[in-house]
Amino acid sequence: MEALTDIGYMKSVLQKHGFHFSKALGQNFLTNPTVCPRMAEACGLTKEWGALEVGPGCGVLTRELAHLADKVVALELDARLLPVLEETLAEQDNVKVIHGDVLKTDLTTLLQEEFGDRPVAICANLPYYITSPVIMYLLESRVPAECITVMVQKEAAERLCAKPGTRECGAVTLAVQYYAEVEKLFSVSRGSFMPSPKVDSMVIRLKPKKELPLEKEEEKRLFSLIKAAFGQRRKTLVNALQVSGLQKEQIKEILDKAGISQTARAEQLSMEDFLKINILAGTKSGL
Ligand code: SAM
């Protein structure tokens, strides 16, 4: 079995199937032989586990996952890659490739159907154009995975792993960190891909929290407050939070009760501060 990180071999298989890379689908395939084994290793897989891969491309990471897991399901949007994967994964009898869009797939049902009660890890070299939507989709739908190991643009990794109170912290940081513990694992240079993207990447790992403090309705309000606060991050909260439907006087009262300065801006707040504001805003709106 030839290595898919052998550029000559990869090119010949892709050519044979008349495949051309699509920029729109974020197709940058890994050619650095050290990256996929490290990513698969980081999932903590054993032969009792299932693995879901998003966007297998030509199957380079899929093969590594298949070595470690009992079964791998790989979800690929680009139908042109299905015959390629049939060839490159011919020797992996524990892999099932499904044609579909991750953002339109009911993953909880899929995982239940494919893996039953087995623990599951999700692993992906994510297409850059939908990094945050995919991560938020996985977390908001509370997909029953033990861990999510993904490669993302370095800047996106900095944002997702930022500490509250720093400049890198944004609405998406707080949203992701509400649902999961998140950590940076290792950097991957742009030269590790074919074709090379214009930016470097980083592998990060998210561990979804088993218990969340809020019900769905309260979560919705929390995220609309966070979005409003960061939507105009240069403004003080008193001004920015009005977008969420609260009156200026109500916001001042809420901040007072929460012990937060009237001149504070979104990036100075911790998640606990937003949770306090959320409870008080709920009282105000009668929710
Ligand atoms: N895993 C391969 C690798 O590491 O070399 C390919 C990674 S490439 C960055 C992203 C892959 O995701 C491509 O194969 C692309 O066709 C696929 N993809 C793009 N959008 C998708 C979507 N919405 N659902 C599922 N797969 C998608």
Ligand 1, atom nearest to 57 Cα: 14
pLDDT digits (tens, 9 = 90+) for 54-74: 999 999 999 999 999 999 999
- Rounded to an integer, what distance in angstroms lies between the CA atom of residue 228 and that of residue 236? 11
- Rounded to an integer, what distance in angstroms lies between the CA atom of residue 140 and that of residue 107? 11
Ligand 1 atom 8: the closest Cα is on which residue?
Answer: 27
Ligand 1 atom 12: the closest Cα is on which residue?
Answer: 55
pLDDT at 235 over 70: yes
Ligand 1 contacts CB of residue 75 (under 6 A): yes
**What are the chain's domains?**
7-208 (3.40.50.150), 216-281 (1.10.8.100)
pLDDT digits (tens, 9 = 90+) for 152-203: 999 999 999 999 878 899 999 999 999 999 999 999 999 999 999 999 999 9
Instruction: Select from 179, 49, 197, 20 the least CA-distant residue to 125.
Output: 197
Contact criterion met (CB below 8 Å) for 162 and 263: no
CA 218-221-223 angle, 5° bins: 110
Cα-to-centroid distance, 112 and ligand 1 (Å): 23
pLDDT at 286 over 80: no
Cα-to-centroid distance, 20 and ligand 1 (Å): 14
Average pLDDT value for the chain:
94
Contact criterion met (CB below 8 Å) for 109 and 9: no
Ligand 1 contacts CB of residue 127 (under 6 A): yes
pTM here? 0.93
The predicted model gives 107-120 an average pLDDT of: 97
- The string over 29-52, giving b where at least 16 C-beta atoms fall within 10 Å of a residue's C-beta and e elsewhere, is bbbeeebbeebbebbebeeebbbb
Ligand 1 contacts CB of residue 45 (under 6 A): no
Instruction: Select from 70, 187, 201, 192 the least CA-distant residue to 128.
Output: 201
Ligand 1 contacts CB of residue 26 (under 6 A): yes
pLDDT score recorded for residue 284: 57
Mutate to test the pocket of ligand 1, among 21, 38, 78, 110 (most ligand atoms within 8 A of CB): 78
Cα-to-centroid distance, 102 and ligand 1 (Å): 10
Cα-to-centroid distance, 54 and ligand 1 (Å): 6
Ligand 1 atom 21: the closest Cα is on which residue?
Answer: 77
pLDDT confidence bin for 287, thresholds 50/70/90: very low
Q: What percent of the chain has pLDDT over 70?
A: 98
Ligand 1 atom 16: the closest Cα is on which residue?
Answer: 78
What's the start-to-end Cα distance of the chain, in Å? 60
Q: Three-class SS string for 88-122?
A: HCCCCCCEEEEECCHHHCCHHHHHHHHHCCCCEEE
pLDDT digits (tens, 9 = 90+) for 16-46: 999 999 999 999 999 999 999 999 999 999 9
- Rounded to an integer, what distance in angstroms lies between the CA atom of residue 241 and that of residue 285? 14
> Residue 158: CA atoms inside 13 Å, Cβ hemisphere, count?
8
